Structure 1
Amino acid sequence: MDEVAARWARQVAEAELGKALPRRWAHTQGVAARAVEVGQVLGNDRALLTAAAALHDIGYAPRLVKTGFHPLDGARFLRDEHGADERLVRLVANHSFALMEAEERGLRDELASEFPLLQEPMLVDALVYCDMTTTPDGGRTTAEERVAEILGRYGDDSVVGRFIRRAAPEIFAAVGRVDAALAAQPK
């Protein structure tokens, strides 16, 4: 994937989220900005990370909601309406441990069979890092603060609350791995 595709991803995300969900768009812009910074650890996949960051929450766009599970709705939109790159679609479908939330929603088998998780740990971790270190308004935060914010917004007993509590150790581990990779980069 190249920089042209990353620009396309940003345009699609802005078209779907910009006016309809301005706060979600602000978060998306922050996640994409983090991806530009983090991309250095990915080499040739940096544009793919940036595109996935721009599109990770596209499934929240009101016109795209079909199942109510944004990773699945977003991935289907990208595949069916745009014929998007398979790796990009699979990253969007599985961002931030979406399989765990899909399980809470009774959609795990559907998500896993339609959009298998990429077996590219650093790429998957990098997208988790970008999403989970960005506030709903696009600012920077820690993964611990982000998980606490999500729990506060959705509540402990909600589907999202149950998912995020289960996923928190995996989120923190992924963020830690990316922090270590960034620290190892030559200055």
Structure 2
Amino acid sequence: MEEWARSTAGRLLADLPRRWAHSKGVGHKAEEVALALEPVDRPVLIAAAWLHDIGYAGAVRASGLHQLDGARYLAGLGVAGRVCGLVAHHSGAASVAALVGLGPQLAEFPDERGPVRDALWYCDLTTSPDGLPVSLRTRIVELCARRGPDDLVVRALADNGAERAGAVRRTESLLLSVHFRQNGEAEHGRPAG
């Protein structure tokens, strides 16, 4: 699934080089972050990370809400429901959907709450449009400057900024705890990992 997700995103986003650069950065970061998750969750996160922005592609765009468009496209291909739900709800999509009257349509997909969802949001919100790692604060400042105060995504930040920050904070805590657990085990003669 992971290789299919990577190649599908690459094909769909080929005409959007900056969006593809961002998606590659998110996908690569997810491949690293996934190691902190349960094994069953790892391919789900990685696939969702690679596919999260395919709704921007001309062949996929329908409603104009890229999260919803991407999820519907994937569901139409028979992609696992968890992946579709994560794509649908990534990085606070519900707040934007409410602003444009697409809340009921977005609700077609379950909003998985927990470490996998948090990790996807973390990967997206700490990756620049060019695919480079950035802090959440830097990403939000860049997003606001690029899109302007009247943009729906910027307006949605007033509603879900704390939720976005919480997802990033929880994932950073998870990564830190895994790092310390692995290093502590290695220091005491037990295998790390």
- TM-score, structure 2 normalization: 0.90
CA-to-partner distance for each residue in 1:108-129, whole Å, 9 max, x for gaps? 12111x112114x111100000
State the match for 1:94 in structure 2. Answer: 89
Question: Match of 1:150, as an amino acid?
Answer: L
- Cα deviation for residue 153 of structure 1 reads 1.1
CA distance in 2, matches of 1:92, 1:150: 19
2:60 pairs with 1:29: no
2:115 pairs with 1:83: no
CA distance in 1, matches of 2:110, 2:94: 10
SS at match of 1:37: helix
- TM-score, structure 1 normalization: 0.93
CA distance in 2, matches of 1:41, 1:142: 19
- Cα deviation for residue 79 of structure 1 reads 0.8
2:140 pairs with 1:147: yes
> Is the deviation greater in 133-142 or in 164-173?
164-173
Give 1:71's match in structure 2, choosing from 60, 63, 67. Answer: 67
SS at match of 1:68: coil
2:54 pairs with 1:58: yes
CA-to-partner distance for each residue in 1:70-117, whole Å, 9 max, x for gaps? 00110111111x2101111111001111111111111112111x1121
Pairs aligned (count) = 179
- Cα deviation for residue 167 of structure 1 reads 2.0
Identity %: 44
State the match for 1:106 in structure 2. Answer: 101
Question: Match of 1:8, as an amino acid?
Answer: W
CA distance in 2, matches of 1:166, 1:156: 14
- Cα deviation for residue 15 of structure 1 reads 0.6
2:115 pairs with 1:122: yes
Q: Structure 1: state its 5+ residue gaps.
A: none
Question: Match of 1:125, as an amino acid?
Answer: D
Q: Structure 2: state its 5+ residue gaps.
A: 184-193
Give 1:7's match in structure 2, choosing from 3, 7, 19. Answer: 3
2:175 pairs with 1:179: no
CA contact under 8 A between 1:150 and 1:164: conserved in structure 2?
no
CA distance in 1, matches of 2:128, 2:34: 19
CA-to-partner distance for each residue in 1:151-180, whole Å, 9 max, x for gaps? 111111221210123222111111111111
> Is the deviation greater in 82-91 or in 39-48?
39-48
Give 1:47's match in structure 2, choosing from 36, 43, 48. Answer: 43
